[in-house]
A and B are shown apart, each in its own frame.
Chain A
Amino acid sequence: MFDYEILRLIWWVLLGVLLIGFALTDGFDLGVTALLPFAARTDAERRMVINSVGPAWEGNQVWFILGGGAIFAAWPFVYAVSFSGFYLAMFVVLAALILRPVGFKYRSKKPDAAWRSRWDWALFVGGFVPALVFGVAVGNVLQGAPFRIDSDLRSWYEGSFFGLFTPFALLCGLLSLAMLVVHGAAWLAIKLEHGAVHDRARRFGTWAALAALALFALGGLYVAFGDIGYRMVGAADPIGPSNPLRTTTEQVGGGWLTNYGRYPWMLIAPALGFASSALALVGIRAGREWAAFAGSSAGALGIIATVGLSMFPYILPSSIDPHSSLTVWNASSSAHTLAIMVVVTVVFLPIVLAYTAWAYKVMFGRVTTEEVRTNPDFY
């Protein structure tokens, strides 16, 4: 069908599609729940906020699960090295994400105020922690993770949990949080009836959009002038066996900017990140809710694509042993598996998108206090 090089590129793009799909769908759920205790104060207000994502979050979360599955299937090396390397961080994210479904379903099952308030904070943790830690993880990926691979291709990780929180990684974490809070605020602006919560969501959205713009710019400066970046030594073998020990990498400051010199079209990604985040800011200020949501969506797309394009062909570089670095060319599944998975994706992804769109259409419209009060199916 396609040759190995093209298949690997397709799966690199699909990895991006999945991450962006996750950020665009589950991203607003995370943002909304991170805002929950602040944007909504009374029980009725909180129920409105929760029900604005009530019918959708479960399907949205599958983007995250599918992301895991797809990395396992297409980039087993990346899955093996990153998940075991970021072990405790993964645990923290999982624990937070486990609280989330339970929080949604159980919160309103009892009238007790203390019970509800505890679940509201659980939902906050379920939104805030993953949004922050995913960004921290991306920061660590950009800096390179401290792992090496032995001759059996078993990976050994030599970092610690607190070592993950470098200033740059925290900056990335805050950027990711800000980006998803803007997205969540824009969603609330669309989904809630006009009133106090709607106004508060817009206010938090404004601040988050300003923060996202500033942090994205700061991150760019660090990538340009800090000492991070990697470069391949010699020619890559795009159809070679998936064995990192057969390629050579060196660490080089500013290395993540090389691609933009070589392929100037790639500058579309950071430009989109800035322009769309600005659109989100303007839209949310002006009460143009759909423009704000389009802006926050395209902003997330631009920011995530910037990371992917800057690093290409790297997926997970190693900071302690650059030769162990994982790239598009040395960490994929076999051509056979990649081809099968392309077919499966081409058949099923459009179906998924179609019924997801239908589900959103069925639940279209603003959540009102009246509806929350009278509908027994609401959370």
Chain B
Amino acid sequence: MDPQVIDLSRIQFAATALYHFLFVPLTLGLSFMLVIMESVYVMTNRPIWRVVTRFWGRIFAINFVLGVATGLTMEFQFGTNWSYFSHYVGDIFGAPLAIEGLMAFFLEATFVGIMFFGWNRLSKLGHLIVTFLVALGTNLSALWILIANGWMQNPVGATFNPDTMRMEVSDFGQVLFNPIAQAKFVHTVSAGYVCASVVVLGISAYYLLKGKWVAVARRSMTVAAAFGLASSLSVVVLGDESGYALTDNQKMKLAAIEAAWHTAPAPSGLTLFGMPDTTARTTRYKVEIPWVLGLIATRSLDKTVAGMSELVLKAHDRIESGQVAYRAVETLKNDPNNQTARAAFAMHGRDLGYAMLLKRYVADPAAATPQQIDQAAWDTVPNVPLMFWGFRVMAAIGFLMIALFATAFMLCSLRMHLNAKWFLKLAVLAIPLPWIAIELGWLVAEIGRQPWAIEGVLPTFLATSTLSRGALWTTLIGFTLLYGTLAVIEVRLILATIRHGPYEHDDDPQPLPGPIPAEPVTA
């Protein structure tokens, strides 16, 4: 494999995925906020809520379209740039993608047309149901994509078949109910809800600061405050928590996030700050909070959290076991009926992927030297500083979001949100934060999985297509130009839409009430 082809393929995937993921979280969250706004319209029958819904609907449309357009690239990129991956795990990995199309994407895409074009052709309740189905579809899409991704992190319910030289499904139920996939789903969609809440909050705050469209803005802000508070709590509290300590790779990811080079005696402390040094394999200037990591990662005070060195030793053993499996597969290629090889494979098959890590250094993994095995074992450690800092910035933004929405919720409840200028300014400044956290979250999850494309099964450097550098440069430059242009156009259009404001300019039917009355209101 040409190392440049591998790097270019990875850069291309990362660039197109990170770009796609600028739009998806907003779609996930805004679709449900539209449902909430439109429900209020249907229940109260006040036209102002129709104006609110349609205004945010337009922002949704501009954003949605790029989410869909860039999703096309993602769907086909597995085949175009990662064709060996596609062959190797298509039996399992393809199914959630196909089900996503059939069950979720059809739903959202068919009804999104009716959602925009059907305002005058459907009853109020009919239109609300359509809006709800769009939101349901987008969120189901996320579920299936994360089931696929969760399987890459924790490949359960599948075994290698030497007759077809690929992984095949043994238990689809395990693939569906993969705990890592479920945890990721909750975490990711909540992050999307936070993102949309911040956008609605920030734009509404901008209007309130300018004194424009106050009727729309103050209502939108109330919705954003409530929805944002619930989702920012969910994103942090439910978080990725349940996924961590299940597999070797997730343990490695956790150790890298903590920059824990060695297993510390229980209960482990949570490293708040430090400087990971990858050459000396140590972390300098550590500031620790005692016990907390043990509580989070093992739910106990007496179990240890594995450090990287110890996990590398484990990988070392698995590579040696994998060499036996590799030799067995080579025998079975020429002699499918060789019973000794079948038996050897049955014993060591689950470590086959570890032997393939050696392919970076030697064509025939069975003939690797001890140094090469050692090198390959250390390859299982991902990029520690990136994991360490990426996670910390992401988590810090998560806590900031809780503070932001708790404040917003309080101000809205006390009906003080129109006058708290300092808060409105903060809300505008907060707009970029969820995106930073979300993109870092993707990097931590996916770079934390390296060197594996599928954890313990297929190394990333073997997963590519057999393409030339020229072809990869062509598409990389092409995507960069196309995506760059579209990003500029999209941002300008969203800004223009914000400046233009809602297209029906209803007066506020109900001027802002005064301070909350001392006596409870009775009907």
Which residues of A are interface residues toward B (Cβ below 8 A)? 54-59, 61-62, 64-66, 68-74, 76-77, 79-84, 87-88, 90-91, 94-95, 97-98, 100-102, 104-106, 109-110, 151-157, 241-243, 333-334, 336-337, 340-341, 344-345, 348-349, 352, 355-356, 359, 362-363, 375-378
The interface residues of chain A lying within 8 Å CB-to-CB of B65 are: 101-102, 104-106
- 15 intermolecular pairs with C-beta atoms under 8 Å apart: A61-B109, A62-B105, A62-B110, A69-B101, A72-B78, A72-B79, A81-B83, A94-B72, A101-B68, A106-B65, A106-B493, A334-B169, A362-B122, A363-B117, A377-B119
Across the interface, do B79 and A79 meet the contact criterion of CB distance under 8 Å?
yes
| Cα distance, A375 to B119, chains bound together (Å) | 10
The interface residues of chain A lying within 8 Å CB-to-CB of B118 are: 55, 362-363
The interface residues of chain B lying within 8 Å CB-to-CB of A98 are: 69-70, 72-73, 482, 486
Across the interface, do B102 and A241 meet the contact criterion of CB distance under 8 Å?
no
- B333 in contact (CB, < 8 A): yes
Given B95, B114, B482, B496, which contacts A73 in the complex, CB threshold below 8 Å? B95
Across the interface, do A154 and B110 meet the contact criterion of CB distance under 8 Å?
no
Number of interface residues of B (CB under 8 A): 73
B388 to chain A, nearest CB (A): 35
Across the interface, do A62 and B109 meet the contact criterion of CB distance under 8 Å?
yes
| Cα distance, A55 to B163, chains bound together (Å) | 48
Segment from B86-94, B209-217, B269-277, B292-300 that makes contact with A: B86-94
Across the interface, do B95 and A341 meet the contact criterion of CB distance under 8 Å?
yes
| Cα distance, A22 to B498, chains bound together (Å) | 36
Interface centre among A64, A81, A82, A337 (most CB of B within 10 A): A337
Interface centre among A58, A79, A110 (most CB of B within 10 A): A58
The interface residues of chain A lying within 8 Å CB-to-CB of B465 are: 80, 84, 87
B334 to chain A, nearest CB (A): 9
Across the interface, do A80 and B84 meet the contact criterion of CB distance under 8 Å?
yes
Q: A244 — nearest CB in chain B belongs to which residue? A: B164
A contact patch SS: helix
Across the interface, do A334 and B110 meet the contact criterion of CB distance under 8 Å?
no
| Cα distance, A344 to B66, chains bound together (Å) | 28
The interface residues of chain B lying within 8 Å CB-to-CB of A109 are: 62, 493, 496-497
With A66-B106, A243-B163, A363-B121 as contacts: A55 and B101 at CB distance below 8 Å: no
Given B79, B83, B106, which contacts A68 in the complex, CB threshold below 8 Å? B79
- B283 in contact (CB, < 8 A): no
With A66-B105, A243-B163 as contacts: A155 and B83 at CB distance below 8 Å: yes
| Cα distance, A80 to B107, chains bound together (Å) | 27
Closest 7 CB pairs of A and B: A76-B90, A83-B79, A73-B94, A72-B94, A59-B110, A84-B83, A66-B101
The interface residues of chain A lying within 8 Å CB-to-CB of B61 are: 105
- B310 in contact (CB, < 8 A): no
Q: B475 — nearest CB in chain A belongs to which residue? A: A91
- B343 in contact (CB, < 8 A): no
Given B100, B111, B169, which contacts A359 in the complex, CB threshold below 8 Å? B111
Across the interface, do B168 and A355 meet the contact criterion of CB distance under 8 Å?
no
If A74-B94, A80-B86, A333-B94 are given as contacts, then 11 extra A-B residue pairs at C-beta distance below 8 Å, sorted by A number, are A62-B109, A62-B110, A68-B75, A68-B76, A70-B101, A72-B79, A88-B471, A91-B80, A98-B486, A100-B69, A363-B121
With A73-B97, A91-B475, A336-B169 as contacts: A55 and B80 at CB distance below 8 Å: no
- B166 in contact (CB, < 8 A): yes
Across the interface, do A65 and B94 meet the contact criterion of CB distance under 8 Å?
no
The interface residues of chain A lying within 8 Å CB-to-CB of B101 are: 62, 65-66, 68-70
Interface centre among A84, A97, A104, A352 (most CB of B within 10 A): A84
The interface residues of chain A lying within 8 Å CB-to-CB of B110 are: 58-59, 62, 352, 355-356, 359
The interface residues of chain B lying within 8 Å CB-to-CB of A80 are: 79, 83-84, 86-87, 90, 465
The interface residues of chain A lying within 8 Å CB-to-CB of B90 are: 72-73, 76-77, 79-80, 333
| Cα distance, A348 to B111, chains bound together (Å) | 16
The interface residues of chain A lying within 8 Å CB-to-CB of B106 are: 59, 62, 66, 352, 356
Q: B113 — nearest CB in chain A belongs to which residue? A: A55
Across the interface, do A105 and B475 meet the contact criterion of CB distance under 8 Å?
no
With A88-B475, A102-B486 as contacts: A153 and B166 at CB distance below 8 Å: yes
| Cα distance, A369 to B65, chains bound together (Å) | 25
The interface residues of chain B lying within 8 Å CB-to-CB of A83 are: 76, 78-80, 83, 86
A151 to chain B, nearest CB (A): 6
Q: A100 — nearest CB in chain B belongs to which residue? A: B69
- B279 in contact (CB, < 8 A): no
Find residues 143-166 in chain B having any chain A CB closer than 8 Å to their own CB: 161, 163-166
The interface residues of chain B lying within 8 Å CB-to-CB of A69 are: 75, 94, 97-102
The interface residues of chain A lying within 8 Å CB-to-CB of B291 are: none
Across the interface, do A348 and B62 meet the contact criterion of CB distance under 8 Å?
no
- B489 in contact (CB, < 8 A): yes
Across the interface, do A72 and B86 meet the contact criterion of CB distance under 8 Å?
yes
| Cα distance, A54 to B105, chains bound together (Å) | 17
| Cα distance, A88 to B161, chains bound together (Å) | 32
Across the interface, do B117 and A54 meet the contact criterion of CB distance under 8 Å?
yes
With A56-B113, A59-B109 as contacts: A154 and B102 at CB distance below 8 Å: no
- B422 in contact (CB, < 8 A): no
With A58-B110, A344-B99, A355-B110 as contacts: A362 and B80 at CB distance below 8 Å: no
With A79-B90, A334-B169, A337-B168 as contacts: A88 and B474 at CB distance below 8 Å: yes
The interface residues of chain A lying within 8 Å CB-to-CB of B166 are: 76, 153
Across the interface, do A76 and B76 meet the contact criterion of CB distance under 8 Å?
no
A42 to chain B, nearest CB (A): 22
With A84-B79, A101-B68, A242-B164 as contacts: A59 and B86 at CB distance below 8 Å: no
B462 to chain A, nearest CB (A): 9
With A62-B105, A154-B84, A363-B117 as contacts: A70 and B98 at CB distance below 8 Å: yes
The interface residues of chain A lying within 8 Å CB-to-CB of B99 are: 69, 341, 344, 348
The interface residues of chain A lying within 8 Å CB-to-CB of B95 are: 73, 337, 340-341
Given A91, A100, A101, A241, which contacts B164 in the complex, CB threshold below 8 Å? A241
Across the interface, do A101 and B69 meet the contact criterion of CB distance under 8 Å?
yes
The interface residues of chain B lying within 8 Å CB-to-CB of A94 are: 72-73, 76
- B399 in contact (CB, < 8 A): no
- B139 in contact (CB, < 8 A): no
